[in-house]
Amino acid sequence: MSYSAEISRVNPSCFLFIIDQSGSMGDQFIQPGFEGRTKADFLADTINKVLTNIVIRSTKTEETPWDYFHIGVLGYGATVGPAFAGSLSGKSLIPVSEIAENPARIEERAKKVSDGAGGLVDQNVKFPIWFESVANGGTPMTQAMTDANGILSSWLAESEHQDCFPPVVIHISDGESTDGDPSGVMTELGNLTSSDGNVILFNIHVSSSDTGSIKYPNSSEGLPDQYAQMLFDTAGHLTPFMIQTARNEYGFEMSDDARAYIFNASPDELVAGLDIGTRPTADENLR
Amino acid sequence: MRFSITHLATQKLGNRPKEYEDWFASDPPEASQLSNLYLCLSITDGATESIFSSLWAKLLAEDFILQKSTHTDALKAIVAGKSEAWTRAIESKSLPWYAEEKARYGAFATVLGAYFFTKPERGRLRGRFRAVALGDSCLFQIRDGKLRRAFPIQQSNEFDSHPALLSTRVSANRNVWEKVRHNWGGWKAGDTFFFATDALSAWFLQQTESGRSPFGRVLELLSKDPERSRSNFVELVQLLRDDQELKNDDVTCSIVELHDV
């Protein structure tokens, strides 16, 4: 049965984020509650929170977190390349422990938490930063996907990764490629495999307008254009646990063969998609 | 009462011994052919998703045998007192940012405890016990080689990945108390009780449902030398994991052989 491998320190899995850093990501959201925030700023905050959550999930004691996952962030805009900041700059796929020990900086931010009596109080929490907001240049999606292919092929070829729980690639973009048709190389990316199944390419198209989204479809019916079609065609299928999370925790309706795909995602749907995409299996299976 | 207690344990495959997150405790401690007026025993299973779970499991197991009560109110008092102890222990450490943030979520564990005693009834001493459980660690009573009682889970298909858990955080325990289960009954000379965390408990029930004798198989591992018993147990667990009969998890099994009232 696919997507059933145990994730452990001796059999880690992998997340690769591919992030559009083109000039249009500097546009502001108009959705209520997010007005004034640029897509790039919001995405940077969200990616940093997702990385924090992965580190915390991998933390068992005060010792360095367990390397359940290797993680990479690839940015594409004026340049294409690994997008970690600080001492991790230039590194493509690194274990969770190294990410935990090397944020570029740590901010303190207020977070609303339960007071145990039904109310909420502000609590200062540490907010590590590994990824900075960038919005500059074109959309060299084809180059980014080619680089991602190279990174993941090499990682999967290593003997200790060949039986891994298949990597999840989360691609976030707000527009079409400016360096040719990336569909071929995106299909190749989704055809990479471990013994436990195919790499899952999760395409999230973000929108700063309020035009309504198409979430986790199982067919291309109703997609507005060829670009949306291309993102659907190259998207992988959600794992059963991803579907369970999406249905039970977010109330999203979808079929059992839903694709890892959102078109015109709102900010909330982007956050939900990143949560769903980075929990491909239950945390009880992190051994 | 005259009885023998054996504690057997091994960590998850791939983990180091210090990463074992179950805990066991008994009063009196492990020994053979003991005479005592009572036996109190507990096993706890720290949740793998939470931090400092083994500390929480240890605090709960050890305080249960100090309190020696199976009432829900006693369990509430244990949790209140020991969650403060857990918090003090964590706050005394200088933690990296990720451990500090993880500690805010608290630690979680299942609990199973039992108290064995004798009671005069109709001119004779009778063996009695009381037990309390929250979660999926189980107690099994064996008489004449047959399973007489399984508590709190009776069938192997009842195990899932979301057992009820006791937390170090008050807010996380609000709805958990209604899931506490109690059991009580009698025992006779010759009875054996097994206390096991979930992976082994599920195996015990699956094997029994298939007509096999898993409890006898484990009893055959016991030797006069406790270290020999433990190494036999580790070998059996490894074999069961290799055959994919046993989930890869920390495994704890405490065995009480009741020789005489």
User: Mean pLDDT for chain A?
Assistant: 93
Q: Is B175 on the interface with A (CB under 8 A)?
A: no
Within 8 A of A60 by CB-CB distance, chain B residues are 19, 48, 51, 53
Q: Report the percent of chain B where pLDDT is more than 90.
A: 88
Test B101 with A9 for CB contact under 8 angstroms. Answer: no
C-alpha B185: how far from chain center: 18
Helix (H, G, I), strand (E, B) or coil at B139: strand
CB contact at 8 A, B190 and B156: no
CA of residue A219 relative to chain centroid, distance: 22
pLDDT tens figures, B186-244: 999 999 999 999 999 999 999 999 999 999 999 999 998 999 999 999 999 999 999 99
Half-sphere exposure of B51 (CA within 13 A, CB side): 28
Long-range Cβ pairs for the range A111-120 (8 Å, 24+): A113/B104, A114/B171, A116/B169, A116/B170, A116/B171
Residue A41 DSSP SS3: helix
Contact (CB, 8 A) for B47 and B108: yes
Q: What is the 3-state secondary structure (H, E, C) of A157-179?
A: HCHHHCCCCCCEEEEEECCCCCC
Q: Does B170 touch chain A (CB under 8 A)?
A: yes
Q: Per the CB < 8 Å rule, is B51 touching A283?
A: no
In the prediction, which pLDDT does B200 show? 98
**If we measure between CA atoms, which residue out of B138, B131, B132 comes closest to residue B45?**
B138
H or E element at residue B3: strand B2-10
Residue B113 phi, psi (nearest 5):
-135, 150
User: Nearest CB to B102: which of A10, A59, A282?
Assistant: A59
Name the more confident of B171 and B72: B72
Query: Mean per-residue pLDDT for B144-158?
Result: 97
- Which residue does chain A place closest to B102, by CA atoms? A56
ipTM: 0.89
The helix, strand and coil proportions of chain A, stated in percent and rounded to the nearest 5, come to 35, 25, 40
On chain B, the residues whose CB falls within 8 A of the CB of A126 are: 97, 100-101
The per-residue pLDDT for A116 is 64
Structure confidence by residue, pLDDT tens digits, A70-115: 999 999 999 999 999 999 999 999 999 999 999 999 999 887 776 7
Contacts of A30 (CB under 8 A, 6+ apart): A208, A209, A210
Q: Minimal Cα distance from A106: which residue of B?
A: B97
Interval A204-236: pLDDT, tens: 999 877 778 999 999 999 899 899 999 999 999
The pTM assigned to this predicted structure is 0.85
* Preferred mutation among B84, B98, B110, B175 to probe A, highest tally of A CBs within 10 A: B98
Bigger pLDDT: A116 vs B95: B95
